[in-house]
Structure 1
């Protein structure tokens, strides 16, 4: 066993330098299990962890990248790259941070002035970047090689400094270390580590080519991963004797840690499936669209972008998963990320993906990660985690740092799981979820990877090496699209295969998606993205690959289902502003007189609540309600019940009700597999309206009531009487904007005059009719339309500009070759970071709270579990507390931040101490005053809000549900609104 001391002596370092090497501490006694850990020990540990990552975690595509960059020495180079990250700890700026460690270092003759002190602003990550610059240049590295490597060292605590920040006055000061003694020991740290990893000298480490900036970001994320694992004191207890520091001992520690943490990669190298992949995985022959999408994946000469457009119920998900398997097999991806528009749509997708993974790589299905904030109320997820010995309390633990970049929390989890099933607990921590091999999460997870936020490299590292699938991409409005396009540029540059799915896309939106991916893939090339061919036929597949000629190709497919006419009519609700829905009741009584299941979709929560309350008077228990202001537990339960009752026929499923009315918000709009006999919907932009129509006669079903044998869509929520332009609900106009509603209303009114929509054949034409960017008017109200269009364009531009301030690449810096200065926006503090994280969706900030009751026996949870007089039993009843989580409307955000706080006894719990409690009294009908609103929670209605002193429940600004995903929000223009006023709109997801 050749130890660090022997290597130093072999390199010719004198005994004084060796003594100093044995004094430089990397982790204090407090953070290293009771024994100081030397700098070299931590570097060795991190390099050994990197070797485990290479052997058991990295995708084949990432290994090929590292081999290409290093000239065939990928594993050794990767270990060096990860281990060298903390070389900057060999500086006074770091050594001064611990009194015990500082005393040891000073005792060896190394010193610093009184100006060097904690908080001086010169951190070890930047110090390491400067040290690397000097040492690598001294070793003869080319400038280009030095320039891309040092930012990985300087950014390993989450923020990439600029060249000026690393080479400024502080880099030449006392904090970096003055004099020959410091210079010699710093050189020794780098050289001893380099020799221990396996290189003959520092010059031989130099890479033969530079990876793209996107690939550098992935490598940076993997460096952070290795550092965090090697910083877990439970697996890497400190070593304070230089003679005991060696790579062999570090490898032994890393191996045990890896086994205890149960980390693993994805499916490894896949064998290609010949013939019909859809049939092999899902048991049914591929439909034409599915076959064509998979075939396009087989024919792509290099990783690229596939856009699949097909009607609702065509089997897009199965097609995408089959195509992803083909792409992974061909290009070395080791897993998938499936991004869904909402939390509600993630849960059923989680089940579907697990079944698919079980066929692709048996056993891997138990390592699939569900990534959204309410996953702990998904029964399948909870069962899977608990089967692996997971502790739900760990789900709320995160990684924190003090101002010096030192850990204030655990980097890993206790590796005590004996059962090999379930995802590794380490991956359940904050920021790490995307690193799991198979991930289903909200699209926000991908959008966050395109923001200039701290530790963004971890998110990108979790995407590269996978096939990325995004569903319902048409739902991204202009604000979200800025982040989506930025993400596609980075993914394109990294040659990550991407599959985008949509019911249909406007031509301009499809073009923007293609251009974004190709812009990234063509980085460094002079060519500009080609104009995509016009897409004919529906369904269709469009591909983008820089190695294709032409680079963009479109393939029409034969539809699986014959188009059928959907009869469209309108319904005016005269007293809806007062919460009365006589016309709706009469319609339902007529249409459901012989039975049947109706879906009523409202654009805001309060309107849905009022509709439910009104219909229950006539239809009793046949009425169900689903929206985003239900507490998480009943919302999850109700969602699953609706899917079971109204979903596709199953032998083991419950019997379909003879009569049922489901009142829902936009939760029912996307990836919600229910089959309604009748649809009644508030007016929304045509693409979203067509999505809702996609729930109508969704499955082949015999025995529908005679009155509902033909698909019927009844559109309400607007008043089109007379020759003037329609008036719209205040909530609808605030969420979607007047312009798109006007253009959609014109199509609806035209269809009502005896021109039914042929679905799905008419879908592309209808969407293009509303979203066409060509000048001119398309409605009977040209003056109103033009005024609304002007306001809409102004709003769209303003929102795009706002989003642009937080994109990962600064304006005009996309082609920058390295990561230096990537964090151009100021990022500091947890509160500011939270705001940045929320910026991928437009809309006002909203707050989640937990519902509690308070009475003479103290506090109790939503479920009725007693927490004690001061909430002291909250930590032991964590699941019961979290079950009552609910999101407040944005109109209550200011009051909630000012008035609501955690209970006093929650301050010692890592998650509860940040959790605001909405306390409802057990008397006074459970009503609490929050700002100028009265808030209560009803078992049937969910959270209800009304103004203080007002008896009507229609007093608060109406808000959409999940509308941050589907909104086309803009400034309202023109006519007075029908009902309500909207000054603030809640665009938070339900």
Structure 2
């Protein structure tokens, strides 16, 4: 590299400094010092490849507009990514590696170490990222940049380690007296670093880099995530070995290294430039002609005047998934999206959607199936995902080693330095599998939590937004988000709206107030407004599709349509099975007696109804109730005819049981003409669980969830049923009707759902022998229960109903207020123009999966444990299946999957007792087990946990005894 520009000669000290300033130490750059300018150009070269082979068309178009026109965005993007580490041209960074510091001092750049130490002690966070933000802001201002351009660019530099400081934060600490930022010749050197880098990237001078437009805050957040992505790739010492000779440093040389890294890592985008699919596309993708509701959804998205939100409301089994996939393809083609994120309510519902999404994108182009990532904490136990890992290829055993040094306290893998070399299993799109990077993959299926995390004030939140922007986002079963989760959902929708991300929301049972809130949040974001009150049109029927977007003038536009269902209504007979509910002062013995009587009554019912064979689904609201009923039914019918499914099995056992349930009761499953099958489950079977039952027994739940459960009844056509079960019936239990007053509810149900909605749901249950027409009655039932009309309740219930309403409103307000503590943007700041100070007060939650989940789901805190077995204090540990470990618990490679599959989540009431649990001694050096708590069982499967005794077996799962 020739650092001398035409008409510009640097003083010898400046030239020597450019030849010496280090970006990566020898220890982190393959054994040779990596010059700072080399790392900046490496990152810019990676950014060029991101532009050419990864960014969505919509993102490139937006950046072209910011840069001043078509074709100009690429160079600006490369500059923004490369300039991120300019702050390393300061004593705050150069002093950290003794060998590099000595070399810098020898060329004549000095600092007063005592003042530097005093500054660091005063403000430990003040390091090269904050120094770079301050430095760039000053030097770009000197180059003539307008203030509005400075204001959005400097936070990208200051925030590239995961959190955005305010302008006040980035000021150098007073006690440093300028010795961290650098004084004297340091200022000339810093200016030269920016000038030389800028010229090498292709600009004549810093002034020529200045954009002509200001990106939205959402685009800024996306850009920040892409800067981090480029930096992390360019920091991989496997491909970017140190360069300590400035004569060998150039953008062309960096391009060669970047191309090698890109090819080796297998980084690829998604669809690219899709053509708008024609009428035949639906049949080509799914093998059948679209149903009326599916054709309606496709037509609605074709009519949209811009990227927006589409709310699809349709019955269970209507084909909403295929409609959303077809609509996503149209939206991606029309608005330049490069991939899709599908968010499901639970891990269990994400797994089958992973399979369906792979089949869909493979039908578009067979190359895409291998690029789909499953994103949730238990994906290792999904068989299809495991097969992808095993077929990952030569790079699957390698691992991205390190990102940055000296002041970076969060590794992208979450692995501490002493185990940094341990390989992680990888899938074909290997780079995307590290912590915080999953959403960057082109096609992603995961829990809705992954979207909610993008609305939290956490470190590296920009990576999540970078992963969502440029995609079409599909959210299924969105009604499952309660008032707490809805705070994060609406915050996320604001950012998606501002980013112009097309969004498809699916629900069978969406309350009108939820529809209104979702559309308003998205449009407020699109308009960059704190509040945007709009009147969302009510759908004229069911199934329906409601589309909303902003017109070019900034005014909201809507298109709403509805058609009839493709299936005739099911007239579902609804019966009540009263259950005696114990009072608050009942003894444990009395409670157990009443529970036994309730279980026996359900067993008697099933014995009668299934006398000629058939299938029944029983849904209990708690694991304990499901286990208790299973024990009763097993005694009546035998274990061959009864299955149990809940969340307190180990992850491996739960995956097997889920797969078995779907196999036995799923679509196109031949049913024997004799025999019976009873599946006892918890809410796992409530949504996105494609099973068909002849008969349903369910605990009372809010009406939308109750209707979701009814959706498992007579779900599949052409399924053989005994004569007695050919008419669909649901039996509702879990509460006690009382003469002249409101009903009493099982305590656990009331704790989960609250009295307010349970009372209103009980009020809409038909009288004996009455029916619900499904799906025709669904919208009216949901609207009635979630409405405010007190007249819904019988006169004798109204006083209790009013008290329950007030209690629920107070609870909702309190939960919403708690959620707001973690939101990315506080109320009143949605119209801010830049990212400065986005992490107000620091990060609100930890960045690991468990901390994030605790932040976005307002459940009682609980912990996961790994179950192992030990005969005595001196014996070796064993797995649940009896495989030997060692006296220290060391895990051989061929036993690892079995140990990891033995994870189970404890009930919240055991959390305090579980605080004393620790990893086994042999796990401390293991990358996956070193933080895992071991729960050691005796050979009988029991152990003491604080004041409790718990047991585990593969039939009942974990339970208190």
TM-score bracket relative to the smaller structure: over 0.9
Instruction: Decide whether aligned partners of structure 1 residues 270 and 636 sit closer, same or farther in structure 2, where only a CA change above 3 A counts.
Output: same
Once the two structures are superposed, the pairs formed by residues 414-493 of structure 1 within 5 Å of their partners are 422-493=427-498
Per the TM alignment, residue 707 of structure 1 is displaced from its structure 2 partner at its CA by 1.1
Q: Deviations 1:672-725 (Å, cap 9, x if unpaired)?
A: 000000000000000000000000000112431111110100000001142221
Instruction: Decide whether aligned partners of structure 1 residues 224 and 550 sit closer, same or farther in structure 2, where only a CA change above 3 A counts.
Output: closer
Partners of 1:815 and 1:16 in 2: how far apart? Answer: 46
Give the match for residue 899 of structure 2: 881
Aligned to 2:212, the other structure's residue is in SS state: coil
Q: Deviations 1:350-383 (Å, cap 9, x if unpaired)?
A: 1101000001122110110000111111111110
Instruction: Decide whether aligned partners of structure 1 residues 400 and 767 sit closer, same or farther in structure 2, where only a CA change above 3 A counts.
Output: farther
Instruction: Decide whether aligned partners of structure 1 residues 495 and 874 sit closer, same or farther in structure 2, where only a CA change above 3 A counts.
Output: same
Q: Deviations 1:35-68 (Å, cap 9, x if unpaired)?
A: 1111111101111111111111111111111111
Q: Is this contact kept in 2: 1:24–1:39, CA < 8 A?
A: yes
Partners of 1:102 and 1:180 in 2: how far apart? Answer: 17
Per the TM alignment, residue 414 of structure 1 is displaced from its structure 2 partner at its CA by 9.7
**Which of 551, 559, 565 is the matching residue for 1:559?**
565
Give the match for residue 795 of structure 1: 811
Instruction: Decide whether aligned partners of structure 1 residues 502 and 7 sit closer, same or farther in structure 2, where only a CA change above 3 A counts.
Output: farther
Which blocks of at least 5 consecutive residues in structure 1 are unaligned? 947-990
Once the two structures are superposed, the pairs formed by residues 829-868 of structure 1 within 5 Å of their partners are 835-855=851-871, 857-868=875-886
Partners of 2:878 and 2:809 in 1: how far apart? Answer: 50
Q: Does 1:286 align with 2:290?
A: yes
Partners of 1:58 and 1:832 in 2: how far apart? Answer: 27
Give the match for residue 595 of structure 2: 577
Q: Does 1:405 align with 2:408?
A: yes
Partners of 1:202 and 1:755 in 2: how far apart? Answer: 76
**Which of 221, 225, 228 is the matching residue for 1:224?**
228
Aligned to 1:937, the other structure's residue is in SS state: strand
Instruction: Decide whether aligned partners of structure 1 residues 801 and 889 sit closer, same or farther in structure 2, where only a CA change above 3 A counts.
Output: same
Give the match for residue 973 of structure 1: none
Partners of 1:393 and 1:861 in 2: how far apart? Answer: 26
Give the match for residue 272 of structure 2: 268
Q: Is this contact kept in 2: 1:399–1:411, CA < 8 A?
A: no
Worse-superposed segment, 338-347 or 910-919 = 910-919
Instruction: Decide whether aligned partners of structure 1 residues 821 and 290 sit closer, same or farther in structure 2, where only a CA change above 3 A counts.
Output: same
Partners of 2:779 and 2:557 in 1: how far apart? Answer: 23
Per the TM alignment, residue 578 of structure 1 is displaced from its structure 2 partner at its CA by 4.1
Worse-superposed segment, 555-564 or 633-642 = 555-564
Worse-superposed segment, 315-324 or 196-205 = 196-205
Give the match for residue 90 of structure 2: 91
Instruction: Decide whether aligned partners of structure 1 residues 394 and 591 sit closer, same or farther in structure 2, where only a CA change above 3 A counts.
Output: farther
Q: Does 1:817 align with 2:817?
A: no
Q: Is this contact kept in 1: 2:846–2:852, CA < 8 A?
A: no
Give the match for residue 35 of structure 2: 38
Aligned to 1:866, the other structure's residue is in SS state: coil
Q: Deviations 1:87-119 (Å, cap 9, x if unpaired)?
A: 001111111111111111111111111221366
Q: Does 1:50 align with 2:53?
A: no
Per the TM alignment, residue 557 of structure 1 is displaced from its structure 2 partner at its CA by 1.5
Q: Deviations 1:246-273 (Å, cap 9, x if unpaired)?
A: 1111111111111111010001111222
Q: Is this contact kept in 1: 2:298–2:327, CA < 8 A?
A: yes
Partners of 2:367 and 2:293 in 1: how far apart? Answer: 30
Aligned residues: 932
Q: Does 1:115 align with 2:115?
A: yes
Q: Does 1:608 align with 2:626?
A: yes
Q: Is this contact kept in 2: 1:514–1:544, CA < 8 A?
A: yes
Q: Does 1:743 align with 2:747?
A: no
Per the TM alignment, residue 277 of structure 1 is displaced from its structure 2 partner at its CA by 3.5
Aligned to 1:769, the other structure's residue is in SS state: helix
Q: Is this contact kept in 1: 2:545–2:562, CA < 8 A?
A: yes
Instruction: Decide whether aligned partners of structure 1 residues 8 and 576 sit closer, same or farther in structure 2, where only a CA change above 3 A counts.
Output: farther
Q: Does 1:494 align with 2:491?
A: no
Q: Is this contact kept in 2: 1:232–1:410, CA < 8 A?
A: no
Per the TM alignment, residue 345 of structure 1 is displaced from its structure 2 partner at its CA by 0.2
**Which of 687, 704, 709 is the matching residue for 2:721?**
704
Q: Does 1:106 align with 2:105?
A: yes
Once the two structures are superposed, the pairs formed by residues 599-748 of structure 1 within 5 Å of their partners are 599-620=617-638, 621-649=640-668, 658-748=675-765
* TM-score, length basis structure 1: 0.91
Worse-superposed segment, 119-128 or 223-232 = 119-128
Q: RMSD over aligned Cα, in angstroms?
A: 2.5
Which blocks of at least 5 consecutive residues in structure 2 are unaligned? 581-592
Partners of 2:569 and 2:421 in 1: how far apart? Answer: 56
**Which of 789, 808, 817 is the matching residue for 2:824?**
808
Once the two structures are superposed, the pairs formed by residues 314-393 of structure 1 within 5 Å of their partners are 314-389=318-393
**Which of 183, 189, 193 is the matching residue for 2:187?**
183
**Which of 162, 180, 186 is the matching residue for 2:166?**
162
Q: Is this contact kept in 2: 1:863–1:883, CA < 8 A?
A: no
Per the TM alignment, residue 172 of structure 1 is displaced from its structure 2 partner at its CA by 8.0
Q: Does 1:515 align with 2:530?
A: no
Instruction: Decide whether aligned partners of structure 1 residues 488 and 409 sit closer, same or farther in structure 2, where only a CA change above 3 A counts.
Output: closer
